[in-house]
A and B are shown apart, each in its own frame.
Chain A
Amino acid sequence: MKMEVYNPTGAIEITEVHAPRLPNLRGKTICELSDRLWEDFRIFPRLRQLLKARFPDMEIIPYTEFPNIYGIKEDVLIEALKKRGVQAAIVGTAA
C-alpha cells in the first residue's frame, strides 16, 4: 500500500543570491566581524596571523575596528564595510 501525504513546511522563496567569492586573496582587503562572544579575542588574532603568513599583501582589518555585529542595523554595517573598502568578511565567532 502507498499513501501520499503533504510536506507541512511550506515553500521558501529565494530573492537574494550569495555574493561571488573572490578569485584569490592576494592584495585583497578583508575584515573580521564579531559578536564579541566565544573567545573572539584569541581566535581572530590567530586566524589573522595564519592568513597573513600565507598572504602577506592581504590587508585584514581587525574586528575591533568595527561595531559589535550583534543586533546591529544592516545599513550601518554595510556603510562601515564600504567605508573601509572591504571585499570580504570573516564573521564569528561560534554563534
Chain B
Amino acid sequence: MVTREGFSNVVTNAFAGEQFIPEASQVVYPTEMFLPLSDLAPIEKNLEALIAGLTVWKPTVREPGVLSPPPLTVEGNDYEEIFLNTNRLFLRNMWTEGLPIVPPTREKVEWILTGTDLPADKIIARILPRGGIATVAIVAINLAMAGGRPEYLGVLVAAVEAMNSPKIEHQRMNSTTCSVYPVLMINGPMAQQIRLGSGYGCLGPDPLHPAGASIGRALRFLLQGAGGAVPEIGTMAIHGGPARYTNIVFAEDEGGIPSSWKSLGEEQGFSPGSNLVTVYAVSSTANIPGGEVGDEVSALATLNRAAGYIGTPNGNYWVQPFNSEGAAGILLLPRGTVRGLSNLGWSKEKVKQYLWENSKIPVSKLGPAFPAWWIPGKRILEDPMPVSRTHNGIKIVVAGGGQSGHMMWLQVGCCPEQLSSVEIRLPKNWGELLKRAEKELGPIPALKN
C-alpha cells in the first residue's frame, strides 16, 4: 500500500474489518507528497521499503483465530486514584471521548447484565470497520462505562442488532466523511418505564429522563472501541459534532399520537404496544420555528415552513432515499401540532404527501454542478426533484411535549438511509429492575400533556 501519514491506522482497521490480522504491508509517505506540485523524492528514498513490502513483509499472526483482549489491572493508592487512572488508561487507548467514565469492573458489569436473560457470550454484531465482536457482555461493559443501568441494556442490545442490519450498513455510517450518527427511536411502554424522554427536551439533556444519554453514549463507545471509529483512524467524519457524544435516543410520545395516526412502530410493521427500537442515521438536526396549527391557514403555513426546511439541496437525498425503502429524514412534531392537524382532518399520510409535494426542488435551483452521479444508476432527474422516491420517505414521529411552537427535522446521513427496527426483549426480572430503579432514582416522572 502506498499511503500517507495519519492513514495507516485506517488501513489496518479496514484489514481487521475484513477479518485479516490488523496489519498491512504499507509504505507511509509524508502527506505533502500527495499534494499538487509536490516533491516526489520520498518515493526514491523509500523504494527499498516498497520492494520489501512486495517480497519479505510478514504479519505477526499468520493463522486464523480469535484475538480476545484480556482484562486490565489498574493500580492506585486509593479508589479515587484508581478511578482517575482507569479514565486516563481508557482515554490513552482511545476507548472514550474524554469525559469521565464509570470503570467497568466485574461487579458493575454483572449488575448491568441482570438486565437481560441472554447469555453473556451471545454475539450481537461485529462492529465495523475494525470488526470488534460485540457480545452481550461487551455491550454491557460499554453501558457500564457510560453510566448505564440494567434496565437500559435491552434497548442497547436491540439497537446494536438493528444497526447491524443491511438497512443501516453501519460500516459506512461509522467510517464515512459525512458527520453522520445514529438516532434511536423507541416505541412501547418500556420507554417511559426506563425514563426515556419523549416530551419537552426529549433529545436531551434531561435529568428526569437520563436513559437516552447513557444508552447513546454506550453506543458511541461501541462504535469507537469495538468499531474503531476514532477520527482519522476509523471514522473520516470531517467535522464530527456534539450529537456524536451521545447520539440521539428518545421515545415516541405515544400518548400524544392522534387515534387516527399510526405510531412509528406500527408503520414499521409492529403491533401497537410493542417495545421496539428503530435506528436511523442522520447528519444534522434543524429546529423549525413555528409549529402552530389553529385553523387551515395556520396549518398550511406550518407545513410550508417544514417543507421549506426539508426542501434543501442536500446531495444525500438523492442516494438511497431514492430507493423505495429509503427515508429523507424524520420530522419531529410535538403534540400541539399533530393534534391541531388531526382535528382539522389531516391524516398522517396526507401530511406526508403535502410535505413531499411541497419540498420538491426545481433543478434550476440545484445549479450546474448538481451531482447527478449521486443517483444510483443515474435514475431520471425529475424537475422539480423530490427529496425521496415517495412521500413515505418523509417520516413523522410525535415527540416534544404539549406545545406547538417548534418542529425538528432530523436530516438523512449518507448511509443506506433506511430505518431498521428490532423488538426489545425484557428480562423475567423486569419488575424487580424497575422497583430498584425507582428506589434509587425516585418515582418515574409522569407524562405531561
Which residues of A are at the interface with B, using a C-beta cutoff of 8 A?
A: 1-18, 21-25, 30, 38-39, 42-43, 46-47, 50-51, 54, 88, 90-95
B residues near A3, Cβ cutoff 8 Å: 73-76, 79, 82, 86, 103, 105
Q: What residues of A have a CB within 8 angstroms of the CB of B22 in the complex?
A: 12
Residues of A contacting B71 with CB < 8 Å?
4-7
Instruction: Check B138 for interface membership: any CB of A closer than 8 A.
Output: yes
Least CB distance, A46 to chain B, in whole angstroms:
5
B21 touches A14 (CB 8 A): yes
Residues of A within 8 A of B109 (CB): 6
Q: At the interface, yes or no: B255 with Cβ under 8 Å from chain A?
A: no
**Cα A2 to Cα B126 with chains together (Å):** 31
Residues in chain A near residue B77, CB distance under 8 A: 1
Nearest chain B CB to A19's CB is how many angstroms away?
10
Which residues from chain B contact A51 at a C-beta distance below 8 Å?
47, 50-51
> When the two chains form their complex, are residues A13 and B104 in contact, meaning their CB atoms are under 8 A apart?
no
Contacts of A7 in B (CB 8 A): 69-72
A95 touches B4 (CB 8 A): yes
CB nearest to A74 among chain B residues: B18
A10 engages B138 (CB within 8 Å): yes
Whole-angstrom distance between the Cβ of B380 and the nearest chain A Cβ: 22
Q: Does B261 contact A (CB under 8 A)?
A: no
Residues of B near A46 (CB, < 8 A) are: 40, 43-44
Q: Enumerate 6 A-B pairs (CB-CB under 8 Å) in ascending A order.
A: A3-B73, A14-B61, A14-B64, A16-B20, A18-B24, A18-B25
> 1/0 per position for B69-94, CB-CB distance to A under 8 A?
11111111111011000100010000
Q: Which of B129-144 contact A (CB under 8 A)?
A: 130-135, 137-138, 141-142
Residues of A close to B1: CB separation below 8 A: 90-92
Known interface pairs A11-B69, A25-B55, A94-B3. Does A47 touch B43 (Cβ–Cβ under 8 Å)?
Answer: yes
Asked whether B225 is an interface residue with its Cβ less than 8 Å from the other chain, the reply is yes
Q: Contact at B31–A94, with CB atoms within 8 Å?
A: yes
C-alpha spacing A43/B29, complex, angstroms: 11
- B370 proximal to A (CB < 8 A): no
Q: In whole angstroms, how far apart are the Cα atoms of A7 and B104 in the complex? A: 8
B16 at the interface (CB under 8 A from A): yes
Residues of B within 8 A of A8 (CB): 90, 95, 104, 138, 141-142, 145, 221-222, 225-226
Q: Is B73 a contact partner of A2 (Cβ separation < 8 A)?
A: yes
Q: Which residues of B contact A23 (CB under 8 A)?
A: 55
B377 in contact (CB, < 8 A): no
Report the minimum CB–CB distance from A72 to chain B (whole Å): 14
Q: Is B54's CB under 8 angstroms from A13's CB?
A: no
Size of interface on B: residues with Cβ below 8 Å to A:
81
Contact present for B7 and A5 (CB under 8 Å): no
Residue with the highest number of chain B CB atoms closer than 10 Å, among A3, A22, A51, A90? A3
In the bound complex, do residue A12 and residue B57 qualify as a contact, i.e. CB atoms below 8 Å apart?
no
Q: How far is the CA of A31 from the CA of B105 in the complex (A)?
A: 51
Give Cα distance in the complex from A21 to B10, angstroms. Answer: 22
A15 touches B133 (CB 8 A): no
Is B440 interfacial (CB-CB < 8 Å)?
A: no
- The interface centre, meaning the residue of A7, A25, A90 with most chain B CB atoms within 10 A of its CB, is A7
CB-CB under 8 A from B3, the residues of chain A are 92-95
B428 contacts chain A at the CB level, 8 A cutoff = no
CB pair A13–B36 under 8 Å, yes or no, is no
Q: With both chains docked as a complex, state the minimum distance between the C-beta of B302 and any C-beta of chain A, in angstroms.
A: 41
Shortest beta-carbon distance, A80 to chain B, in Å?
18
Residue ID in chain A nearest B17 by CB atoms: A12
Chain A residue at minimum C-beta to C-beta distance from B31: A94
Other contacts beyond A14-B63, A18-B21, A51-B50: 4, CB < 8 A: A17-B62, A21-B55, A43-B34, A51-B47
Residues of the A chain whose Cβ atoms lie less than 8 Å from the Cβ of B19? 12-16
How far is A3 from B66 in the complex, measured between Cα atoms in Å?
Answer: 26
Contact call B225/A95, Cβ cutoff below 8 A: no
Decide if B35 touches A39 in the complex (CB within 8 Å). Answer: yes
Q: Determine the distance from Cα of A66 to Cα of B1 in the docked complex, in whole angstroms.
A: 16
The complex places the Cα of A73 from the Cα of B33 at a distance, in Å, of: 29
